[in-house]
Each structure stands twice: as structure tokens, then as C-alpha cells.
Amino acid sequence: MLIPHDTRIALDIVVDLMNTTPEGDHGDGLEDLPALYAFVQNYNISDVGELGEHDLNAVREVRDRFTDVFAATDARTAAEMINQLVASAGTTPQLTDHDGYDWHVHYFAPGASVAEHLAADCGMALAFMIVAGEHERLRRCEAPGCGRAFVDLSRNRSRRYCDSRTCGNRLHVAAYRARRKEAAG
């Protein structure tokens, strides 16, 4: 599956944004404005001015809407959610080549808030996955107690864990130990 560079970055942003959701023993990764500023800076999200509490709340709302897209059981439902998300951002597609990046498309309107920026650009990246017939690649980690979001970009769509070195390895070691215990039993 060939994914354009800017779409891949937007998918990474979606996943990382979703994974800031407080779950289990993980606190809210967007607990305050400094955390939002750090997120924006980490991804070099352009055209973001001064941020306030309303921006933090709006980004959390977008995060929840992305979570709903990943939870959709079929492409039609996901598409409807994505259409609503992108429309709410007031999209204005435009070509740009800023900050040393080659030509790419921004879907957010000039002067858009950070939440609108995320809804538009990341929503369009998710739309790309639906158009490509790849809705099932939007996944949650199958490791017990994890549930982190990821996009399965494996060739055969077989990835089950957010990180094979942590969640995947932990489950494989547990299964190995259980087999040894049963054999010694």
C-alpha cells in the first residue's frame, strides 16, 4: 500500500492523539495547555498561534471523534463520521510548500484553530484509508489491558499489537511460560 508522506504523517498524528486518551493506568496525555503545546511542537503543526483552554477542549473533542472512527465496525459508518468531522473543520484544500517540505495539500482553512487543523488534515488521511479499502487497518492493540490505537501497515494486514517489542513480546513470553508450566505440570 502506497501512502503519500503527508498522509502518513497525518495518520501518525491521529494515532498519537488518540493514544493521549486516559485509559487504565495512563493519565490524560493532553491534561493541560503545556501538553497541547508539546504535541503541536512535536508534530510541527503549522499556523498555530496562541492556544487557550477552548483549544484544549476542542482538540480533546476531535480526539474522541477519531476514536469513534477507529471503533466503527464498517467502512460506511467510518466514512459518515469522517465526512462530519472534515465538514466541521471548514476545509479549504490548498497546495503549499512551507518549512522545507515539498508540495503537499493542507485541507484546513487559513486561520483555522488547531482542532480544525487536526480534524481536516487527519480526517482526510483517514478518508484516504477508507477510499483505499483499508478501513480494517485502523486498529486497537489486542494485548490485554492495552488498547492503544495504531494503523496496521503490514503487507498482509496481520499486525495485532501496537508495538511488537512490548505488547507482542510480553504476550509471546507469557504464552511460552504457560506452555512450559503445562508441560512440566
In this predicted structure, what is the pLDDT of residue 78? Answer: 97
pLDDT the model gives residue 133: 93
Distance CA 29, CA 70 (A): 19
pLDDT along the chain (185 residues), means of 10: 84 96 81 95 86 96 97 96 93 81 81 92 94 94 89 90 74 63 74
Q: What is the pLDDT of residue 99?
A: 75
pLDDT value of position 109: 80
Task: Give pLDDT, residue 107.
Answer: 85
* pLDDT at res. 180: 72
For residues 2 and 43, give the distance between their C-alpha atoms in angstroms, rounded to a whole number. Answer: 22
Which residues have a Cβ under 8 Å from the Cβ of 55 and sit 6 or more positions away?
A: 33, 36, 113, 114, 115
List the beta strands (DSSP E) in the chain: 94-96, 104-106, 138-140, 149-151
Beta-strand ranges (E) seen in 22-113 are: 94-96, 104-106
Beta carbons within 8 Å of 151's beta carbon, 6+ residues apart: 11, 14, 15, 129, 137, 138, 139
Amino acid, res. 88: S
pTM of the model: 0.84
